[in-house]
Structures are given as structure tokens and as C-alpha cells.
Amino acid sequence: MAEGITVGHEASHPALQHHFENLEQQREAGALGMWVFLVTEIMFFGGMFLAYTLYRTKFPAAFASASNHLDLTLGAVNTVVLILSSFTMALAVYSAQVGKRRNQLICLILTILLGLTFLGIKAVEYRDKYEDSLIPGSLIPGRPFNPAVQEHGQPYDKHKLHLLPGANVKNVEMFYWIYFAMTGMHAVHMIIGVGVLLVILYFSWRGRYGPEYHNPVEISGLYWHFVDIVWIFLFPLLYLLGRHLEH
């Protein structure tokens, strides 16, 4: 079968797929594809943001009480960890573009480690919620949502739920469901991201990416930054809501 007309010496580049005319077209398609995918992700998370907005407006006291019970320190540390990981990811993309293989490997490994750190801290937070019986519904069979509630005048106990006036425990449970749904979905995206970066790391180690061809590193970076940005929205909405009302 006759070949289509191809342009320039890039036609012989091993990474060029047969249905693209040249590497530039392939790069554009890959990048646009990832941007479009990220748009779908925004809409996906959007459904949960809508539910959050609706019920936060409807049950402000319960949501503030539940939010105050989240671990602010761990949440804040995780935010820093993720922003750092985005920084190392950006450096990894840059190193691929300028063809510094060693830096590229170091930055990818750092990004993966930071991602895993985030997931580890998240796991600690989830365990704390489990211990305080804050997992909603029957998500964990045999461990229903049943937090100890701080009575008025009792000494401060960080394992107890401090209900603000007007807050209903049923709606606190709803907050925790939205919390687990949103952070859980975010964590799933983090896990996928780490998996993707491991693949990129392998090919990077094989020396596949350089100034001429680094599209996969770039679009994986886009995905990583997106997951990071989702957290940037989740953190204030879930953790910082109503802190000023505490005590």
C-alpha cells in the first residue's frame, strides 16, 4: 500500500504513529486530547461540588460543625505536599524538554514520592475518622456512623463532635459522605496519577523522551496539575469552612 505524503525527516521518528503526518501534529493532538479530558473531569467533580454547595447552604451549622472536626494540620500539610509535587512535576517536564535525562528521572521520582506521601497522610486521616465512627452509612459494614457528641460544659475532647447550635447529626453524616465522596474520588485520581507516572518513569529511564519527543511527559503533567488543583478547591471548602465559629 502506498504511503501518504509525509513531511520532513521526523517521519522516520520511531515515536510517530502511522496516522499522523508529523510529530508536531501528534503532539498537538495529544495535548488537546488531555485538555478535553480534563474538561470532562471538571464536569465529573462538578456534580459533587453542586451537591456540596446546595447542602452547605441548606445546613450551614451542621456543615461547619463537621468541617471543624477535620484535621486541619494534616489537611494543610497535604496541601503543601501536593503543591510541591506539582513543582517537581513541572521541573520533570522542563527537564524532558531540554533533554536532561538525570534531572528528569529525579523529578519524576520526587513527584511520585510526594504523591505517595499525600496518599499516606490521607490514609491516616481516614483511619482517624474510622476510629471516631465518622464513616457515614454502612460504607464500612458493622461500623455505622455513630460519633460521640461533646456535651455542653464537658472538657474538650478532640475525638468528640462539637455540634454548633442548630446542627443536626444526620446532616453531619451527609457532610462526611460528601467529604469521603470528594476526597475519595480525588484519591482515586491520585492513585491513577502515580500509576501513570510510574509508566512515564520507566520509559524515561529507557531514554525515550528528549527535546524532539516528550509529549507523554507533558500531558501526564497536565493531568497531575489538574488533580492538584482539585485539591486546592477541596481543602478550603471542606477544611476551612466555619473555622471561625469554633469555641
Query: According to the binding rule CB under 8 A, does residue 233 interact with another protein?
Result: no
Say which residues have a Cβ less than 8 Å from residue 31's Cβ, sequence separation at least 6.
Answer: 215, 218, 219, 222
Interacting residue with another protein among 13, 36, 192, 195 (CB under 8 A): 36
Residue found under cell 478550603: 236
Span near another protein by CB under 8 A; candidates 37-45, 87-95, 203-211, 229-237: 37-45
How many residues are present in the chain? Answer: 247
Query: According to the binding rule CB under 8 A, does residue 146 interact with another protein?
Result: no
- Shortest reach from residue 101's CB to another protein, in Å: 27
Q: Which is nearer to another protein, 84 or 169 (CB)?
A: 169
Residues 173-192 that bind another protein (CB under 8 A): 173-174, 177-178, 180-181
Residues 86-145 that bind another protein (CB under 8 A): 136-139
CA-nearest of 150, 202, 183 to 45 is 183
Size of the site for another protein (CB under 8 A): 43
Interacting residue with another protein among 50, 124, 191, 198 (CB under 8 A): 50
Phi, psi of 149 (to 5 degrees): -105, 130
- Give me the long-range contacts of 53-58 (CB less than 8 A, separation at least 24): 55/171, 55/174, 55/175, 55/178, 56/241
> What's the count of helices (H) and strands (E) in the chain, helices before strands?
6, 0
CA-nearest of 35, 33, 10 to 21 is 10
Interacting residue with another protein among 10, 56, 59, 215 (CB under 8 A): 59
Contact 3, 16 (CB under 8 A): no
- Shortest reach from residue 74's CB to another protein, in Å: 23
List of residues contacting another protein (CB under 8 A) = 1-2, 4-5, 18-21, 25, 28-29, 32-33, 36-37, 39-41, 43-48, 50-51, 54-55, 58-59, 136-139, 168, 170-171, 173-174, 177-178, 180-181
